[in-house]
Amino acid sequence: MYQAYPLHRVLLRRIGVILVGVLALPVMLFRRDRARFYSYLNRVWSKTSNKPVWLDRSERVTRDFY
C-alpha cells in the first residue's frame, strides 16, 4: 500500500534538510518557536516513504507490555 522512496530522493531530502537547518540557524537562535521548526525538519529527515512518519515509527517500536 505504501511506496518506499528511492535512495536518491531520500538523500536529496536529507541534503535539503541540512542546508535549510544551517541557513536558518542564525535566525532561529532568537525565535521562540525554533523547537517546532527543527521538529518539522526532523520529520522531513525521517521520511523514507509516503507512509506517515508517526505510523512508521509506531510500527517499529517493540512491544514492552502485552
Successive 10-residue mean pLDDT values, the chain, 66 residues: 90 96 93 92 90 84 71
- The 3-state DSSP class for residue 18 equals helix
CA 25 to mean position of chain CA atoms: 17
Residue 9's pLDDT is 93
Residue 62's pLDDT is 73
CA 58 – CA 66 distance, rounded (Å): 15
Quote the cell numbers at residue 65: 507490555
pTM for the predicted model, two decimal places: 0.75
- Residue whose entry in the numeric block shows the C-alpha cell 525521517: 46
CA 18 – CA 21 distance, rounded (Å): 5
